[in-house]
Amino acid sequence: MLTGCASVPGTLPQAAPEAPPASAQAAFSEDLTKRTFAYFWETTDTERCLAPDRWPSNPFSSIAATGFALTAYGIGAERGYVSREDAAQRTRDCLEFYWNAPQGHAVSGVSGHKGFFYHFLKNEDGTRFGNTELSTVDTALLLGGVLFAQSYFDRADPTEAAIRDLAEKIYARVDWTFAQRENSAIPSANGGSGKAIAMGWYPERGNGGDFGTHDWVGYNEGMLVYILAAGSPTHAITKEAWDTGWAANLDKDWGTYYGYEHLQFEPLFGHQYSHVWVDFRDIRDAYMASKGIDYFENSRRATLSQRAYGIDNPNDWIGYSGDLWGWTASDGPTGAANGRLVNGEPRQFQAYSARGVSAERVVDDGTIVPTAAGGSVAFAPEVTIPALMAMRDAYGDRLYTRYGFKDAFNPSYTFTDAGSRSGTVDAQTGWIARDHLGIDQGPILAMMENHRSGLVWRTMRKNPHIRRGLERMGFTGGWLDRTDP
């Protein structure tokens, strides 16, 4: 793993290779959408609505993956992969489970507390897995799917009416003020204080539970947490939380990387997750207004700077190019071959980690992650769709399967004698992950659909909670200024 900042060239990267024909890109986009939808439809447990954190290993369920599954159901209905009636029934059953799942401050035997849910849930009964945290961001990702379902299923029949009612109750139950730093006896380790929202809560800490040491401060995927917390009809935070928490020190994250000036966050998931459900095009808070761009353009620049890093390949990994690139949190080949030479240099390899590149930091062990490009399709389709097609063409059905892309691949990890617990190793083409990850599948599906039809964004623009949260955080312009979103 290399953590030093890559060299920044004085000129922008070379021109892209000729893109595949539009007809080929359209056919691929449909095929990828259908396969990735099938992942959520076929692997999510229907009895308890527990979407697997990863598949096929499936050690536990992820509430964030379930949020993506709920979003997938509407996409599948809209595209005709399943009937609207079947999608609605499954969605209603899912929301019934989460509304009725046990809540409380107990260390085990419950699914959540104060309306939040634990990050991982047991496959057997949907209660807390191990000592995982009560997660504010993973609850937010679940709620993204809940509120999408609330606005998508808008017909006057009993099943869809039940979906809307359950979604409202699940969202309104969350006590966002409980998760603010002022309620913690543990000081923040990353600059949060006062009204900032903590990342997690642990029932076994302190006298009756307490928070971890980190808050949602600075540029990251926590933007969605604050928007949903501000939009709450029952337990809303105030704008002070946004101003003194997440947005307090954004200037420290502003910089230029490969010629692209933007807010930095090296793994691309930080530029993607909030955008799955919120259309940030042409709407701005005070900070982005001062920079003359919006958060959508910021994510586009982050995506293009990553591609430029792949073209430059300053750390001399195998296979990087303008069509094979992309770094975000993902599985990796593990450290079994640490110290082996790649292009004459000793290397370190990681297991699951938050890979990424920016002017602030480079975390790169030669592993390329399809969701980095896939979750950015809506930002820069002209480079991301050809990249995904190139990955499919280069690695075939080792990488591109019944459920779309396996989580990651590493062309530099060719050490068959060392092997890998997390995937398969080929002496010529390298390592490919064993599993698909729900939180990496979800952005591919949703952002491809936002690019193709705008479905998720169009649906969420109708949701009053999303609008209220954005307006309370000071966003203006674009669709927020129109009565018809």
Higher pLDDT, 341 or 190: 341
Tokens for 22, please give them.
């539009």
Domain, as residue range, for 330: 22-481
Q: Is 10 part of a structural domain of the chain?
A: no
| Confidence bin at 335 (pLDDT 50/70/90) | confident
Q: What is the pLDDT of residue 361?
A: 96
Q: What is the pLDDT of residues 236-275, one digit of tens each?
A: 999 999 998 889 889 999 999 999 999 999 999 999 999 9
- How many structural domains comprise the chain? 1
pLDDT more than 70, % of the chain: 96
- Do residues 376 and 447 touch, judged by C-beta distance below 8 A? yes
Q: Which residues contact 314 (CB under 8 A, 6 or more apart)?
A: 6, 7
User: How many C-beta neighbours within 10 Å does residue 189 have?
Assistant: 10
- Summarised one tens digit per residue, pLDDT across range 82-126 is 999 999 999 999 999 999 999 999 999 999 999 999 999 999 999
Q: Please state, in angstroms and as integers, the Cα–Cα distance from residue 198 to each residue in 180, 184, 226, following that order.
A: 6, 9, 11
Q: What is the mean pLDDT of residues 27-56?
A: 97
Partnered with residue 212 across adjacent β-strands are: none
Domain membership flag for residue 6: no
pLDDT at site 172:
98
CATH classification of the domain holding 314: 1.50.10.140
Domain assignment of residue 4, yes or no: no
Given a cut of 90, is residue 444 above it in pLDDT?
A: yes
- Say if 13 falls within a structural domain: no
> CA dist 170 to 114, 143, 189, Å?
11, 8, 31
12 falls within a domain = no
280-294 residue pLDDT tens: 999 999 999 999 999
Evaluate whether residue 5 is within a structural domain.
no
Has residue 200 been placed in a domain? yes
> How far apart are alpha carbons 161 and 154 in whole angstroms?
7
| Mean of pLDDT values over 362-380 | 98
pLDDT at 15 over 80: no
Mean pLDDT of 134-142: 98
Residue 8 predicted with pLDDT over 70: no
Has residue 14 been placed in a domain? no
Mean pLDDT for the chain overall? 94
Query: Among 108-117, 184-193, 255-264, 446-455, which is the least confidently predicted range?
Result: 184-193
Instruction: Tell me the pLDDT tens digit for each residue of 51-83.
Output: 999 999 999 999 999 999 999 999 999 999 999
pLDDT at residue 485 in the model: 67
